């Protein structure tokens, strides 16, 4: 009987450790559109930020189901970086698939997107919220059936004339923005690591508006 109890205790410990490991996995999703013509466009800032942290961590993205994926470990946490290949308006399908595949809880998901309501480079990390007119977030809300997930909004400004919104977000960075972008990308990479190690609230307090 003692042997049986000992074996059971080991099994329970294994399960507990597995759950703890899962809670240390984070899915970081950068929204964007696939294809060379979308490279360096405002709408693809999510891809741009993930490319930056992948470069810093010296990892490569690999094409997989519904997206390109890379991963790295930092301070005992596993960060899975996802660039959906479904195009912006169908981002939810990719997010849901990788959440399920990797057993990642909703509270460990961070969605990165552009925001027309913020000036260029302004950062806002939030615990939840509406889609704000962003088609990528709109689809994620519909697929996940919730708005209660963390999102990292990167300001791209609203310097466009009436009826030119699509052209603006699908346009390239201007010369001044391009010069300032490297520092903003460095800050963005810090935010991703902070989300997984310091937690959402501390990350919001430390980086919002910076």
**CB within 8 Å of 89: residues ≥ 6 apart:** 135, 136, 138, 139
Residues 66, 67, 72: CA angle, nearest 5 degrees: 135
Question: Which residues are registered as beta bridge partners of 71?
Answer: 80
Instruction: Give the 3-state secondary structure of residue 143.
Output: helix
* Exposed/middle/buried for residue 201 (C-beta within 10 Å: 0-12, 13-18, 19+): exposed
- Of the residues 43, 151, 153, 193, only one is catalytic, namely 43
Q: Which of 208, 210, 116 is nearest to 157 (CA)?
A: 116
Task: Take residue 70 and report the two structure tokens written for it.
Answer: 């890379």
Q: What is d(CA 102, CA 202) in angstroms, rounded to the nearest whole number?
A: 25
Assess whether 134 carries a catalytic annotation.
no
Q: What is d(CA 41, CA 37) in angstroms, rounded to the nearest whole number?
A: 8
Active site residues: 43
């Amino acid at each position: 009987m003692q042997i049986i109890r000992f074996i059971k205790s080991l099994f329970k410990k294994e399960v507990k450790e597995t759950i703890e490991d899962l809670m240390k996995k984070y899915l970081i999703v950068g929204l964007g559109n696939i294809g060379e013509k979308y490279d360096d466009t405002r709408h693809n800032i999510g891809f741009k930020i993930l490319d930056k942290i992948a470069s810093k961590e010296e990892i490569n993205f690999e094409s997989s189901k519904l997206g390109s994926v890379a991963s790295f470990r930092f301070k005992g946490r596993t960060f899975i970086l996802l660039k959906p290949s479904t195009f912006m308006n169908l981002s939810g399908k990719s997010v849901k698939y990788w959440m399920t595949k990797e057993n990642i809880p909703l509270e460990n998901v961070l969605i990165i997107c552009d925001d027309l309501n913020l000036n260029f480079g302004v950062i806002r990390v939030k615990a939840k919220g509406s889609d704000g007119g962003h088609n990528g977030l709109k689809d994620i809300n519909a697929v996940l059936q919730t708005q209660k997930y963390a999102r990292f909004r990167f300001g791209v400004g609203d310097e466009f004339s009436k009826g030119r919104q699509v052209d603006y977000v699908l346009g390239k960075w201007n010369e001044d923005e391009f010069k300032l972008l490297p520092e903003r990308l460095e800050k963005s990479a810090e935010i991703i690591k902070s989300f997984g190690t310091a937690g959402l609230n501390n990350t919001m307090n430390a980086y919002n508006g910076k």
